[in-house]
Amino acid sequence: MQIITSITDMQSHADSLRKAGKRIGFVPTMGFLHEGHLSLMRRARQENDVVAASIFVNPTQFGPKEDLDRYPRDAEGDRKKCESTGVDILFTPAAAEMYSERPSVFVNVEGISDILEGAIRPGHFRGVATVVAKLFNIVKPCKAYFGQKDFQQCAVIKRMVAGLNLDVEVIVLPTVREADGLAMSSRNSYLDTEQRRKSACLYRALTAGEELIKNGVREPETIKQKMRAVLVQEKGIEVDYVEVADPDRLTPLETAEGRMVLLVAARLGSTRLIDNLLIL
Ligand code: PAF
């Protein structure tokens, strides 16, 4: 596995691969890799000639009071995981090269970036869209892989790709879960034992909502009340939102019919957890 840190080195390597007719599959990450990331890398391995992954804890997607400074890191462990999953190129740029001291160019996907997570984390999706656009221009992939766990992020990125006519196919793969249903996330490492036990209630809330829908309940308010009730059964859970939404626009549905996504966001102590369930 080749480790590349410089942007121009990555770009010229990507150029020569593309000239040689190689298809690059790309998995952008912020590191502290888990099975969710590895499942993306494995799929990229199956579908492309060359697999590139990036590890970059992107400062522009963190709010001023968020966890940028304490975001978990494990450079050596991540390197080994990438290597054993068949990654060919690991791109690990420095923040100082990715951004000038006062970055002034951003990608803003309007509307969808301002609701749900975007309403609670203003500027978050501007940071995500900006760094993903930059990474696409640096790594030059044919296909890029993202986890469904960050459902709104995937929707923002798909819209950005369509809106800017980027020549990249965005592939979203299912959420990988722990045995009790908790969606894998690097931030789960913040949870203490008791919080970790309680955190499974997000998935329980989603499946309780799904069950109502399967039983013919069509009133989103009833479904949301049930999901909330499951969440607050665990003491110490603070619910940020529960939603029954259109899976493309992420706007609330008036009737729970057809394709939809159930979304939850909650806090346990200082840790925010999000999850979702797509109902087709
Ligand atoms: O999902 C993540 O890890 C990040 O938001 C991403 C897509 C790598 C952009 O920094």
37 an active-site residue?
yes
Dig out the tokens for 216 from the structure.
Answer: 């013919």
Spatial distance between the Cα atoms of 195 and 179, rounded to a whole number of angstroms: 16
Q: Is 132 exposed, middle or buried (0-12, 13-18, 19+ CB in 10 A)?
A: buried
Q: How far is the CA of 213 from the centre of ligand 1 (A)?
A: 31
Q: Are 92 and 5 spatial neighbours (Cβ–Cβ below 8 Å)?
A: yes
Dig out the tokens for 263 from the structure.
Answer: 């979304």
For atom 2 of ligand 1, the residue with the nearest CA is 29
Q: What is the pTM assigned to this prediction? A: 0.98
**Ligand 1 within 6 A of 7 CB?**
no
Angle at 171 between CA 169 and CA 176, to 5 degrees: 165
Predicted pLDDT of residue 56: 98
**Ligand 1 within 6 A of 29 CB?**
yes
Rounded to the nearest 5°, which phi and psi values hold at 88? -90, -35
Question: DSSP 3-state assignment of 155?
Answer: helix
How do residues 190-249 score in pLDDT, each as one tens digit?
A: 999 999 999 999 999 999 999 999 999 999 999 999 999 999 999 999 999 999 999 999
For atom 3 of ligand 1, the residue with the nearest CA is 29
Q: How far is the CA of 171 from the centre of ligand 1 (A)?
A: 14
Spatial distance between the Cα atoms of 55 and 28, rounded to a whole number of angstroms: 7
**Ligand 1 within 6 A of 128 CB?**
yes
- Regions in the chain scoring below 50 on pLDDT: none
Spatial distance between the Cα atoms of 244 and 256, rounded to a whole number of angstroms: 7
How do residues 93-115 score in pLDDT, each as one tens digit?
A: 999 999 999 999 999 999 999 99
Q: How far is the CA of 128 from the centre of ligand 1 (A)?
A: 6
**Ligand 1 within 6 A of 185 CB?**
no
In 3D space, the residue among 75, 40, 34, 81 whose CA is nearest the CA of residue 56 turns out to be 75
Predicted pLDDT of residue 96: 97
